Amino acid sequence: MGHSIKQAVFLMESRIADAADGDADALYELGVAYSTGAEGADVDLIEAHKWFNLAALGGDSRGQESRAELADYMSAREIAEAQRQARAWLSATISQAA
């Protein structure tokens, strides 16, 4: 049990590192993980929308479609929070790269 949890945490951390490098697939896969609870992630629609939004901004059409589908299940306040978090992520990753 502990081994699979460690493995899931490592997988998520490596995806986040890839996402920080601008990997659109990693951004999309993080959205999937948070929208479905895959790979040991807790289901979190705000977090999922954030990652799908970032993938969409990177030109990933799957991210655009998934973000739109997810928005149907979210309140305006939740969507606004997801967008705020996406902007914060972009600011943080851009300042790290500079």
User: How is residue 72 written in tokens?
Assistant: 């149907």
Q: Specify the number of domains making up the chain.
A: 1
Q: Rounded to two decimals, what is the model's pTM?
A: 0.88
Residue-level pLDDT, tens digit, the chain, 98 residues: 455 667 777 888 889 899 988 898 999 999 999 999 987 789 999 999 999 999 999 899 999 999 999 999 999 999 999 999 999 999 998 777 65
Close Cβ partners of 22 (under 8 Å, ≥ 6 residues apart): 58
* pLDDT tens-place string over residues 8-19: 778 888 898 999
State the residue range of the domain holding 77. 2-97
Using only the alpha carbons of the chain, give its radius of gyration: 13
User: Cα(30)–Cα(55) distance, rounded to whole angstroms?
Assistant: 9
